[in-house]
Amino acid sequence: MSTTPVNVQIPSDTEAPIIADFVEHALRVAYFDRQHWVSLPASDWDAPGVYVLMTADGTNRVYVGQARKLRGRLQQHNNKEKLPWRRALAVKRDTTAGFNTAEIGYLEGRIAAELNALHQITVVEGQSSGDETLPKHMMISLDAFVKSILGALRLAGLDVSRNNPQTEVEDEQPTPDSKRSTKPTRVVTVADLVSSGLLQAGHTLYLSQAGKEAEGSVTADGEIIVRGVSYKSPSTAAAKALELQSSNGWVTWKLGNPAGPPLDTLRQQWLKQQTEEAEK
Q: Are 219 and 230 in contact (CB under 8 A)?
A: yes
Instruction: Say whether both 204 and 271 belong to one domain.
Output: yes
Strand, coil or helix: 96: coil
Nearest-CA neighbor of 224 among 206, 211, 251, 246?
206
Instruction: Say whether both 98 and 234 belong to one domain.
Output: no
Q: Is residue 255 part of a domain?
A: yes
Instruction: Say whether both 254 and 201 belong to one domain.
Output: yes
Element (H, E) at 143: helix 136-155
Give pLDDT, residue 129: 58
Domain termination site, one of 111, 127, 155: 155
Q: Is residue 99 part of a domain?
A: yes
Instruction: Say whether both 27 and 148 belong to one domain.
Output: yes
Strand, coil or helix: 43: helix
Instruction: Say whether both 147 and 259 belong to one domain.
Output: no
Cβ contacts of 279 within 8 Å, gap of 6 or more: none
Instruction: Say whether both 10 and 134 belong to one domain.
Output: yes
Number of alpha helices (DSSP H) and beta strands (DSSP E) in the chain: 9, 12
Give pLDDT, residue 167: 55
DSSP tag of 115: H
Q: Is residue 1 part of a domain?
A: no
| Sign for the pseudo-dihedral over CA of 184, 187, 189, 193 | negative
Instruction: Say whether both 237 and 99 belong to one domain.
Output: no
Instruction: Say whether both 125 and 11 belong to one domain.
Output: yes
Give pLDDT, residue 164: 53
Q: Are 43 and 36 in contact (CB under 8 A)?
A: no
Instruction: Say whether both 38 and 144 belong to one domain.
Output: yes
Q: Is residue 163 part of a domain?
A: no
Q: Is residue 111 part of a domain?
A: yes
Q: Is residue 85 part of a domain?
A: yes
Nearest-CA neighbor of 148 among 160, 136, 137?
160
Q: Is residue 160 part of a domain?
A: no
Q: Is residue 196 part of a domain?
A: yes
Q: Tabulate helix, strand, coil % of the chain (nearest 5).
A: 35, 20, 45
- Predicted TM-score (pTM) of this structure: 0.88
Query: 5: exposed, middle or buried (C-beta count within 10 Å: 0-12, 13-18, 19+)?
Result: exposed
Q: Are 114 and 136 in contact (CB under 8 A)?
A: no
- Whole domain around residue 176: which residue ranges? 169-279
pLDDT (tens digit, 0 to 9) for every residue of the chain, 280 residues total?
A: 577 889 999 999 999 999 999 988 899 999 999 999 999 999 999 999 999 999 999 889 999 999 999 999 999 999 987 889 999 999 999 988 899 999 999 999 999 999 999 999 999 976 655 666 788 889 999 999 999 999 999 999 999 998 655 555 566 555 555 454 444 457 899 999 999 999 999 999 999 888 889 999 999 999 999 999 999 999 999 999 999 888 999 999 999 999 999 999 999 999 999 888 888 7
The total number of structural domains in the chain stands at: 2
Give pLDDT, residue 178: 44
- Side by side, the strands of the sheet bearing 229-231 are 229-231, 224-226, 212-218, 204-209, 254-255
Instruction: Say whether both 193 and 274 belong to one domain.
Output: yes
Give pLDDT, residue 131: 63
Give pLDDT, residue 52: 97
